[in-house]
Structure 1
Amino acid sequence: MVVQSKHFLNTAPSLVVDSLEGLCTLNPQLALDAGNKVVHLASPDRSKVAIVCGGGSGHEPSHSGFVGEGILSAAVCGTVFASPSAGQVRRAIDLVDNEKGTVIIVKNYTGDILNFGLAKEQYASTHPDRDDQVRFVIVGDDVAVGRTQGAIVGRRGLAGVCLVYKIAGALAHRGGSLEEVYDVAQWASDHVGTIGVGLEHCHVPGTAVSDTNLGPEEIEIGLGIHNESGIRRVSPVPPLNELVPSLLEMITSTSDKERSFLPFKGKGQDNVALLVNNLGGLSELELGCIVREVRGSLDDSNIVIKRVISGTFMTSLNMPGFSITLLLLPDGSDPNAPSEELILSLLDADTSAPGWKWSSKAALSTTTQSIAPPPAPTAGRSIDLKAPDVALFNDAIERACKALIAAEPEITRMDNIAGDGDCGLTLQDGATGVLKELEKGTVTGNDVVGSVIAIARVAEETMGGTSGALYSIFFSALAQGLAAGGPGAATPQRWARALKSALERLYSYTRARPPSRTLVDPLASFVRIFNAMSTNLTSAVKIAGEAAEGTRDIVAKAGRSAYVDTALLKAERVPDPGAWGVKVVLEALAG
């Protein structure tokens, strides 16, 4: 699999500071010490506990994006994937120094622990009267690292640290004491677990492009956020409804001696806050699907979700992957633990930090609202129009659909150059839908008009977009033209007249006229020749095919290619994908 290796930047060395300056432009409440790469509140409330965090850059919005009232007071940023120095951290502590004290929260990585810890000790050595005013919390939430493997170094810190930031920061903002803020942060750290999965590793700006890590049908489970390898690779890529339960089992298991880190009780006794995190290169479309699957899997396990938070929180630059974090909420059995109500209220508390995403601040409903289906459309008057050879009609439809499905990769390749890349899949969806109607008998040579109406409905409902609308309009008009002659046989002459009227109706909704580098080019050529020689289908299909081929050298006047660089199209000489789809259909229909 090819990892994205191109980036928008001035220079790789200036990337971090340039980005931090952009963040401060976004939020005037923030200030930047550029020399030390410290983002901090411009006017911190020095009567409240300060929260300081940080680490290597490349995990945005962590850590700098969480600086704001209600979360962090300051974030210290190293270069990409590298810990900041102790001097940088010491500067951050000084910038937010206050009456109540400071809590430092870091992920469990050696460089972060050493440099932040050294800064803490340096502060204590120069402020002996305040040596207990800086507390230190280490978060290691990665359940992929088992007890044996992590016996000395412990578990890595992943997206779970973001929940720790939020909980501790909200309590500090409310005026909690240093002891209270430290205790709640430590409790949250002890009760959070995370597992990540990626389709590929990421690319660090300014470095050479590495060889492909994962195969096109391979994913990696338990990988770190600095390109560290995971615990295993899986091929082929499983569907989410198989992948997600296996990931959650690694967090919630109480029988895995290596990974039973959280004290889940089972039998419906466990409440959690859920964080679904984008590792940087995942689409929002996929992320929503992941949230759905995680919710369903937790429901199946009788684990109650009290809060759902989803979005981009802890990234690994542009890694195409996600992580799942569960915070096991207090159940009231431990008198030293905070209450569930307190933890949820801290997660819900408002913040001015630009990196924190919206959440509903409500528990999930256990019931799904029932929505009555819309009434079925009223059936129109049936026209008894039959194909001269029913079997031949059905076979032709089947051939055309299968030909479109087979042509999907080539049409998609064309559309990746000449359009937006979805034409092949759109046509494949339509063809698959028509095949289903053929299997059900809705499309049949015994009812030609009904069949064409069914094809128009499939185009509307399964294809969508511009292509779906064009095909649906054309086939709806074609059905009207076929029905106009009343009952009888669907002769070639009747098809020719109906095709002509359908094309004229389509022209009332699109400005595309041949030659335009659109599906209209082969369609119009076919209709013109078939009207002139309705008994010579082969000639009409041949001329249509030539028109589709001819779109390679036509300047786009309409359709998807009208927005593509003309020089690129001229150099690639790729035909219009929509026109090619019409060619495939007509040639398959003609056999």
Structure 2
Amino acid sequence: MCGGGSGHEPAHAGFVGEGMLTSQVRRGIDLIDNEKGTVIIVKNYTGDVLNFGLAKEQYAAMHSEKANRVKFVIVGDDVAVGRTQGKIVGRRGLAGTVLVYKIAGALAHRGGSLDEVYKIAEWTSQNIATVGTSLGHVHVPGTAPLETNLGQSEIEIGMGIHNESGHQTVSPIPPLSQLILRLIDMMISTSDPDRSFVPFKGQDDVVLLVNNLGGLSELELGAIVGQTRDALDVRGLKALRVLAGSFMSSLNMPGFSITLLLLPREGDASAPSTQQILSLLDDKPDVPGWKWSSAQPPAAKASQIIQSTATAQQSKPRILKAVDPDAFVKKIRQAANALIKAEPDITRMDLIAGDGDCGLTLKAGAEAILKKIDQNAINGNDVAGSVMTISQVSEEIMGGTSGALYSIFFSGLSQGLQTTSSDVVDPRVWAQALRTALDNLYTYTRARPPSRTLVDPLDAFITAISASGGERLADAVRAADKAAEATKDLEAKAGRSAYVEGDKLKQEQVPDPGAWGVKVILENILA
């Protein structure tokens, strides 16, 4: 039997737990009354211990013949509360408590005796460590928004689940990888006499539980799990099971906690076997709050990377040289740096007109292109190959719709360049190849100008440059600029902007962020 107050869902109702009032707890004991007995498991908080303890004592008083058949387990797994600070009240109970619920509950379901279930619950509670961290405190639904005590560059370590302040505030916020290493070190330390609660020795086997305190998305939680696995490898710990999700929340707290269950070492006669602990965790409970987890150790990263066995050699683009190789690279570098500088403006536009990631996507592609220039993978002595490199960067680094559009366009541009009979790429060759690339792109998108997409300035530029045989670059760039500016007054016909209310975009006078990115590129190629 488990329980506690509300606000920590799915604990405890999602695990078929009980309420908080003494009368509710006592009624729960009556409902699960049986010949073998009852094990009550509670988190180490004063209210929980007193209400559940009182219910146990009242039950024992009313059923004296059964008094020895009700056992009580208190779980305190929070390493943020040191021995000095918690010398009277002890450590708080956090998400590690649910591992005690699960292991003891599975053994009870299998028909374990009262003593067996009680002993395994006690052993588990003594071998778990948890620490939480958060970017802010919770907001109780229906109340005025909370003014957090944390600044934008601060994070708290050692958060409880009742909105208590943390053990310490850290600023600036460290990278996630460093933050997690710090949390793990707090749990596994054997040199800190105030916090060394669990007997880690190094090279230990563990169960990892990453718990969402309520305010994180599944995507964010997945990133935290990945970083935690890396941190365990760094510290020489091997996770034989990984559980992740909302197990014990704190309403909508924007944070998470990490729990490690130290598994028994071989030859430890005083402990259950590792196999027994893992099998009890693997038993699938029929309750709404328990998250799916794999009954296998997570695969090593190296085993998840499939090495290519292909022996066929890829054919390389024809070697074509720019008229001025140094200028070719210089213009690409200028355009990339300009995109990076324009990221905040493009992001602001996309927060209104799209999903907010256009600026960051273009910046990521630009940064990758600068690296390729430094590696000489983009150079003026191999124009078609360099354009193909840009296509690959667009696909692999940018991703998404814009990445695919850019990749298709530059792939088509490389193809168009290679149809020339010349070995030098002059303005005429560029004009013909650009028209080929645009025609190729139109095979895969229905967007046509005016559409409030990146094709508006792209089409305007290529139409103008083709008409002049590649000679009037400045006029073509001006045509692209005009087309990009005109997207402020256009109703979106394609892309994510098509889902935004048309009048709102016109009122805001926000240009299409993708079109603006093309404008920035072309202006800086001309510069």
SS in structure 2 at match of 1:54? coil
Equivalent residue number for residue 192 of structure 2: 256
User: Counterpart amino acid of 1:121?
Assistant: E
Distance 1:63 1:129, change over 3 A: same
Q: Which runs of 4+ in 1 moved over 6 A?
A: none
User: Counterpart amino acid of 1:523?
Assistant: L
* Corresponding position: 1:523 with 2:458: yes
Contact 2:319 / 2:385 at 8 angstroms: preserved in 1?
no
Superposition deviation, residue 580 in structure 1: 1.0
Q: 1:309 aligns with which of 224, 243, 268?
A: 243
Q: 2:175 aligns with which of 221, 226, 239?
A: 239
Superposition deviation, residue 137 in structure 1: 1.3
* Corresponding position: 1:476 with 2:425: no
Superposition deviation, residue 309 in structure 1: 1.8
* Corresponding position: 1:201 with 2:115: no
* Corresponding position: 1:58 with 2:7: yes
Superposition deviation, residue 389 in structure 1: 2.1
- TM-score with structure 2 setting the length: 0.94
Equivalent residue number for residue 149 of structure 1: 85
Q: Distance in 1 between matches of 2:152 and 2:301?
A: 39
Equivalent residue number for residue 308 of structure 2: 373
Q: Distance in 2 between matches of 1:304 and 1:384?
A: 50
Distance 1:279 1:95, change over 3 A: same
Question: For 1:88-99, what aligned pairs fall within 5 Å after superposition?
Answer: 88-99=24-35
Q: 1:330 aligns with which of 234, 257, 264?
A: 264
Q: Gaps (5+ residues) in structure 1? A: 1-51, 68-73, 77-83
Contact 1:385 / 1:486 at 8 angstroms: preserved in 2?
no
Superposition deviation, residue 63 in structure 1: 1.1
Contact 2:322 / 2:426 at 8 angstroms: preserved in 1?
yes
Equivalent residue number for residue 440 of structure 1: 375
Distance 1:526 1:59, change over 3 A: same
* Corresponding position: 1:289 with 2:241: no
Superposition deviation, residue 586 in structure 1: 0.9
Distance 1:567 1:55, change over 3 A: farther
SS in structure 2 at match of 1:305? strand
Superposition deviation, residue 265 in structure 1: 2.7
Q: 1:431 aligns with which of 330, 347, 366?
A: 366
Superposition deviation, residue 290 in structure 1: 2.7
Superposition deviation, residue 325 in structure 1: 0.8
Equivalent residue number for residue 224 of structure 1: 160
Q: Distance in 1 between matches of 2:309 and 2:144?
A: 56
Question: For 1:39-78, what aligned pairs fall within 5 Å after superposition?
Answer: 52-67=1-16, 74-76=17-19
Distance 1:92 1:558, change over 3 A: same
Distance 1:372 1:139, change over 3 A: same
Superposition deviation, residue 291 in structure 1: 2.6
Superposition deviation, residue 97 in structure 1: 2.5
Superposition deviation, residue 61 in structure 1: 1.5
Distance 1:503 1:299, change over 3 A: closer
SS in structure 2 at match of 1:131? helix
Q: Distance in 2 between matches of 1:384 and 1:306?
A: 52
User: Counterpart amino acid of 2:339?
Assistant: L
Contact 1:512 / 1:558 at 8 angstroms: preserved in 2?
yes
Map Cα deviations across residues 149-197 of structure 1 (whole Å, 9 max, x no partner).
1111111111100000001111111112222222221221111110111
* Corresponding position: 1:353 with 2:287: yes
Question: For 1:550-569, what aligned pairs fall within 5 Å after superposition?
Answer: 550-569=486-505
Distance 1:458 1:152, change over 3 A: same
Equivalent residue number for residue 130 of structure 1: 66
Superposition deviation, residue 146 in structure 1: 0.6
Equivalent residue number for residue 509 of structure 2: 573
- TM-score with structure 1 setting the length: 0.84
Identity %: 62
Q: Distance in 1 between matches of 2:29 and 2:292?
A: 29
Q: Distance in 1 between matches of 2:495 and 2:294?
A: 41
Distance 1:502 1:335, change over 3 A: closer
Distance 1:337 1:379, change over 3 A: closer
User: Counterpart amino acid of 2:347?
Assistant: T
Superposition deviation, residue 345 in structure 1: 2.0
Q: Gaps (5+ residues) in structure 2? A: none
Q: Distance in 1 between matches of 2:301 and 2:490?
A: 56
Contact 2:11 / 2:289 at 8 angstroms: preserved in 1?
yes
Equivalent residue number for residue 272 of structure 1: 206
* Corresponding position: 1:184 with 2:120: yes
Superposition deviation, residue 116 in structure 1: 1.6
Superposition deviation, residue 442 in structure 1: 2.0
Superposition deviation, residue 444 in structure 1: 1.6
* Corresponding position: 1:103 with 2:52: no
Contact 2:127 / 2:262 at 8 angstroms: preserved in 1?
yes
Q: Distance in 1 between matches of 2:515 and 2:311?
A: 34
SS in structure 2 at match of 1:477? helix
Superposition deviation, residue 337 in structure 1: 3.2
Map Cα deviations across residues 338-368 of structure 1 (whole Å, 9 max, x no partner).
3333222211222111222222223456794
Superposition deviation, residue 514 in structure 1: 0.7
SS in structure 2 at match of 1:196? strand
SS in structure 2 at match of 1:578? helix
**Greater mean deviation of Cα atoms: 440-449 or 370-379:** 370-379
Map Cα deviations across residues 116-165 of structure 1 (whole Å, 9 max, x no partner).
22222222232233223322211110000011111111111111000000
Map Cα deviations across residues 409-441 of structure 1 (whole Å, 9 max, x no partner).
222222222112221222112112211221122
Aligned length: 525
Question: For 1:380-395, what aligned pairs fall within 5 Å after superposition?
Answer: 380=315, 382-395=317-330
Q: Distance in 2 between matches of 1:337 and 1:517?
A: 67
Q: Distance in 2 between matches of 1:522 and 1:213?
A: 47
Distance 1:489 1:330, change over 3 A: closer
Q: Distance in 2 between matches of 1:143 and 1:356?
A: 24
**Greater mean deviation of Cα atoms: 152-161 or 362-371:** 362-371
Contact 2:77 / 2:129 at 8 angstroms: preserved in 1?
yes
User: Counterpart amino acid of 1:492?
Assistant: P
User: Counterpart amino acid of 1:61?
Assistant: P
User: Counterpart amino acid of 1:352?
Assistant: D
Superposition deviation, residue 569 in structure 1: 2.4
Contact 2:77 / 2:93 at 8 angstroms: preserved in 1?
yes
**Greater mean deviation of Cα atoms: 166-175 or 292-301:** 292-301
Equivalent residue number for residue 536 of structure 1: 472
**Greater mean deviation of Cα atoms: 125-134 or 539-548:** 125-134
Distance 1:94 1:101, change over 3 A: same
Q: Distance in 2 between matches of 1:391 and 1:287?
A: 46
SS in structure 2 at match of 1:132? helix
User: Counterpart amino acid of 1:559?
Assistant: G
